[in-house]
Structure 1
Amino acid sequence: MAHLRPLEDSEIDDPFIVERFAHYAETRGFTPNSIRTMARRPEIVKAFMALNQAILYEGTVSEQLKMLISLASSFAAGCLYCQSHMTNLSHIYDAPDEKITQILEFETSEYFSDAEKAALNLAFRAAQTPNQAEQGDFDRLGKYFSESEIVEIVASIGLFGFLNRWNDTMATSLEPLPAERAERILSDHDWSAGKHVAG
């Protein structure tokens, strides 16, 4: 059960946040409880949403790959809330279920290209504590991505360093849609919501 209750729409009066929450509801089918909790400090949630937009939805690395990188980072960090959300977003951005299901076996899976494998390798290594990223991981990445694209990839991992810590610390309540999608797609991994079950 969450340590802080997510705010209801009626408790939010900042017009920008109201508009962005409506956007989330329209594009995802719900507004994440992570930012509903964060909205107690409007400047923090606005800065976070701007950073999230710049990292995941701008640049030249595909949005699908960024979602998979974020999913890999969340697996490495152990955040069940973010695993469910990034399973959902990977699905929204057209990652086949097989790709999502085999994220932990990416190195041997036929569903991932060599470029995707290089990016996921860094995600899994960099999201661990302590960080396992080494020069060889960047040498491998550099075969497929420009320096600007490597910044996008590392930014995606870094963004989820924040989100994994935020949601695991807050025990953020998981919404029904991402929970159902994760339970279905990640069933081979015995995935469960753990402490993020809505109470």
Structure 2
Amino acid sequence: MNKPPPKTSEEKEPFIPYVEEENYPESLKPLLGPYVERMGFLPNALKLYMHRPEIAKTLFALNSNVMRDPSSTLDQQLKRKLGTFASKINGCMY
């Protein structure tokens, strides 16, 4: 199986500009803290979601439900490992 070439870690200008932190919707700011605490930064994809707060809230809720569902047979640590593995094989930097 051929691996795709590694992607560069330096991003050029994004096609859609990221929302600057001072412009994040107030209603979403409390939801962003856990991402920054866990990762040390806010991923660019989440910065894009700030353009559409109603979609961002839905995606954050989906993530929370998948990762923290008490009825799940997979623990959160394994889910994170699977996410990391999927990111790596797809050339994602984080």
Unaligned runs of 5+ in 2: 1-11
Provide, for residues 109-161 of structure 1, a one-character-per-residue CA deviation record: whole Å limited to 9, x for no partner: xxxxxxxxxxxxxxxxxxxxxxxxxxxxxxxxxxxxxxxxxxxxxxxxxxxxx
Alignment match, 1:8? 20
Question: Percent sequence identity over matched residues?
Answer: 25
Task: Check if 1:69 corresponds to 2:85.
Answer: no
* Cα distance in 1 between the residues matched to 2:88 and 2:41: 23
Question: By percentage of residues, which structure has more helix?
Answer: 1
Matched, 1:49 2:64: no
Deviation of 1:75 after TM superposition, in Å, equals: 4.5
Structure 1's consecutive aligned runs of 4 or more residues displaced over 4 angstroms after TM superposition are none
Change (3 A) 1:74 1:28: closer
Cα 1:8–1:67 shift into 2, 3 Å: same
Question: Counterpart of 1:115?
Answer: none
When the two chains are superposed, the root-mean-square deviation of aligned CA atoms in Å is 1.9
Q: Aligned match of 1:20 in 23, 26, 31?
A: 31
Q: Which amino acid aligns with 2:47?
A: R
Mark the structure with the bigger radius of gyration: 1
Residue-pair matches, total: 80
Structure 2 length as normaliser, TM-score?
Answer: 0.68
**TM-score, normalising length from structure 1?**
0.36
Q: Which runs of 5+ in 1 are unaligned?
A: 86-199
